[in-house]
C-alpha cells in the first residue's frame, strides 16, 4: 500500500481579505492502493471514512464572506457521479463554504453543461469544479468564467491543453486517474486469460472526451500484447447502457465469434452483459471501468470479469479542497493523479 501526500506552499493572498490561510498540509490525501492492486468486489466503493482523511481546519469566516463553490458534473444518472458528489459534500462539511451542485441531464448533454456554466458566471460563484462532458467544447465558456474572476478546477476528464492555450484559458489544475493505464490493466486482466484465437471488441465513450480516448488506447495496447487476440471492432456507445446494448448487438451480427469485450465504463459493460445474458453467451469475457455497485454484483455472478475503481468520491473531495485553496491564494499542482484500483 502506498500513500500520496500533497503539500501546498502559501503565497501572498491577493484574492481574499481573510486573515488566515489554510496550512498547505490540510490537503494531505491518503489514497489507498496501487495501480496494480487486486481487491475483491466487496471491498470496493465503500464510503469515505472520516479517519482516512486528515482533519482540515477551516478559516472562520463571516457568513457574508463564505464562498460558493460550484461542482458541475455530467449527470447523476450514472452512479459514478453520485459518488463524486458525496466526496464533494464531505469536503463541504470540512470547509467554510457553500457547495452548489449542478448536472446536465445526460453525459452527452454538452450544450446543457455550457448553459449551466454561463448561469454560474451570472450568479456568481467564487469557483467552479468541473467534470466536463467534452474536452474541447466547454473551454470557451470556462475562459469567460475565468475572465470573470472565477477559479476553475478540472476533474475526471481533462480539458484539451492545446485548445485551452489557443483560446487563452489560463492553466487549470487537473485531478483524475491515469485512464490509459487503468484501461490497460482491465483489458490485460481479461486478455491474459485468452489462450486461443479470439475476437475482441471495444465499447468506447464519447469520442471527443479525453478520458474515452485514453481508455481506448489503453485497451488496444493490452490486446496487442496477446497474439491470440484479434481486435475486430471498436465503436462509441456514449457511456450509456442502452446504446451499448444496441452497439454490441450490431457487433455480434457482424462478428459472431467475439469472445472478449472491453467497455470504457461500467454502464456500457452492463448494457453488453444484458445482451449476452439474453442471447445465452455466457463464455464472453467482459472488462469494465468505474467499479459501480451494479458492476460489483456482476462480478459476484461472474458476468463481469474485472473493473477499475477510479475513486470518484476522492476526485470530488479533492476538487473542492483545491478550489478552496485557490481562493485562499495558494499555489496548486498542475496535475494530481489518483491511483486506480483493479477490482476482480
| pLDDT band at residue 332 under the 50/70/90 scheme | very high
In the chain, the number of structural domains is: 2
Instruction: Indicate whether 191 and 148 sit together in one domain.
Output: no
The pLDDT score that the predictor gives to residue 77 is: 86
Asked, for residue 327, whether it belongs to a domain, the answer is yes
| Residue owning grid cell 462480478 | 299
Q: Render pLDDT for 247-260 as a digit per residue (tens, 0 to 9).
A: 999 999 999 999 99
What whole-number percentage of the chain has pLDDT above 90?
77
Same domain membership, residue 184 and residue 222: yes
Q: What are phi and psi of 201, to 5 degrees?
A: -135, 160
Per-residue pLDDT at 7: 36
Average pLDDT over residues 123-148: 97
Arithmetic mean of pLDDT, 55-77: 69
**Which residues sit opposite 263 in a β-bridge?**
203
Angle at 134 between CA 222 and CA 326, to 5 degrees: 100
pLDDT in tens, 187-201: 999 999 999 999 999
14, with CB counted inside 10 A (0-12, 13-18, 19+), is exposed
Same domain? 151 vs 255:
no
160-194: pLDDT as tens digits: 999 999 999 999 999 999 999 999 999 999 999 99
Confidence at 106, pLDDT banded by 50, 70, 90? confident
* Residue 76 DSSP class: S
Instruction: Assign 2 a pLDDT band (cuts: 50, 70, 90).
Output: very low
For 261, the domain range is: 179-309
Classify residue 193 by its DSSP letter. Answer: T
Determine the pLDDT at residue 15: 39
Q: Which cell goes with 256?
A: 459472431
| Non-local CB neighbours of 203 within 8 Å, separated by 6+ positions | 235, 236, 237, 244, 247, 248, 261, 262, 263, 264, 268, 269, 271, 272
Considering the domain boundaries, does residue 1 fall inside one?
A: no
Q: Verify that 303 and 164 share a domain, yes or no.
A: no
Give, to the nearest 10 degrees, the angle between helix 179-191 and helix 210-224: 30
Specify the higher pLDDT residue, 18 or 303.
303
What's the rounded mean pLDDT across residues 257-284? 97
- Residue 10, domain member (yes or no): no
Upstream peptide bond of 124 is cis (omega within 30 degrees of 0): yes
As a whole-number percent, the residues of the chain with pLDDT over 70 amount to 81
Q: Can you give the pLDDT at residue 5?
A: 35
Same domain, 76 and 89: yes
- Look up the CATH number of the domain holding residue 252: 3.40.50.2300
pTM summary value: 0.79
Burial class (CB in 10 A: 0-12, 13-18, 19+), 251: buried
Q: Where are the beta strands (DSSP E) in the chain?
A: 38-39, 68-73, 98-103, 127-130, 151-155, 174-176, 198-204, 229-236, 258-263, 285-287, 307-309, 335-337, 341-343
Distance (Å) of CA 333 to CA 14, 154, 299, 322, 330: 19, 12, 36, 9, 10
Q: 343 lies in a domain?
A: no
Does residue 167 sit in the same domain as residue 153?
yes
Distance (Å, whole) CA 127 – CA 236: 32
Amino acid at each position: 500500500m502506498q500513500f500520496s501526500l500533497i503539500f501546498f506552499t502559501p503565497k501572498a493572498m491577493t484574492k481574499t481579505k481573510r486573515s488566515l490561510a489554510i496550512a498547505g498540509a490540510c490537503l494531505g490525501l491518503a489514497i489507498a492502493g496501487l495501480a496494480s492492486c487486486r481487491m475483491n468486489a466487496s471491498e470496493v466503493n465503500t464510503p469515505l471514512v472520516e479517519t482516512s482523511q486528515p482533519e482540515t481546519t477551516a478559516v472562520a469566516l463571516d457568513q457574508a464572506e463564505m464562498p460558493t463553490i460550484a461542482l458541475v458534473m455530467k449527470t447523476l444518472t450514472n452512479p459514478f457521479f453520485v459518488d463524486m458528489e458525496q466526496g464533494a459534500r464531505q469536503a463541504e462539511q470540512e470547509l467554510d463554504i457553500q457547495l452548489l451542485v449542478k448536472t446536465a441531464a445526460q453525459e452527452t448533454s454538452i450544450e446543457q453543461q455550457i448553459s449551466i456554466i454561463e448561469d454560474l458566471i451570472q450568479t456568481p460563484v467564487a469557483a467552479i469544479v468541473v467534470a466536463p462532458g467534452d474536452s474541447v467544447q466547454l473551454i470557451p465558456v470556462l475562459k469567460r468564467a475565468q475572465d470573470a474572476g472565477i477559479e476553475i478546477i478540472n476533474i475526471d476528464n481533462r480539458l484539451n491543453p492545446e485548445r485551452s492555450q489557443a483560446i487563452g484559458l489560463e492553466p487549470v489544475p487537473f485531478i483524475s486517474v491515469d485512464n490509459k493505464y487503468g484501461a490497460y490493466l482491465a483489458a490485460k486482466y481479461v486478455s491474459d486469460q485468452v489462450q486461443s484465437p479470439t475476437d475482441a471488441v471495444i465499447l468506447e465513450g464519447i469520442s471527443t472526451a479525453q478520458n474515452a480516448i485514453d481508455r481506448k488506447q489503453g485497451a488496444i495496447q493490452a490486446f496487442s500484447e496477446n497474439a491470440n487476440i484479434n481486435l475486430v471492432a471498436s465503436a462509441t456507445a456514449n457511456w450509456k447502457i442502452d446504446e451499448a446494448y444496441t452497439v454490441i448487438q450490431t457487433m455480434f451480427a457482424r462478428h459472431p465469434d467475439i469472445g472478449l469485450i472491453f467497455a470504457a465504463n461500467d454502464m456500457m459493460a452492463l448494457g453488453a452483459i444484458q445482451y449476452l445474458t439474453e442471447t445465452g453467451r455466457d463464455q464472453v469475457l467482459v472488462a469494465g471501468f468505474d467499479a459501480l455497485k451494479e458492476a460489483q454484483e456482476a462480478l459476484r455472478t461472474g458476468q463481469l470479469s474485472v473493473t477499475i475503481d477510479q475513486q470518484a468520491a476522492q476526485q470530488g473531495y479533492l476538487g473542492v479542497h483545491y478550489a478552496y485553496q485557490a481562493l485562499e491564494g495558494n499555489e496548486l499542482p498542475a496535475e494530481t493523479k489518483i491511483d486506480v484500483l483493479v477490482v476482480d
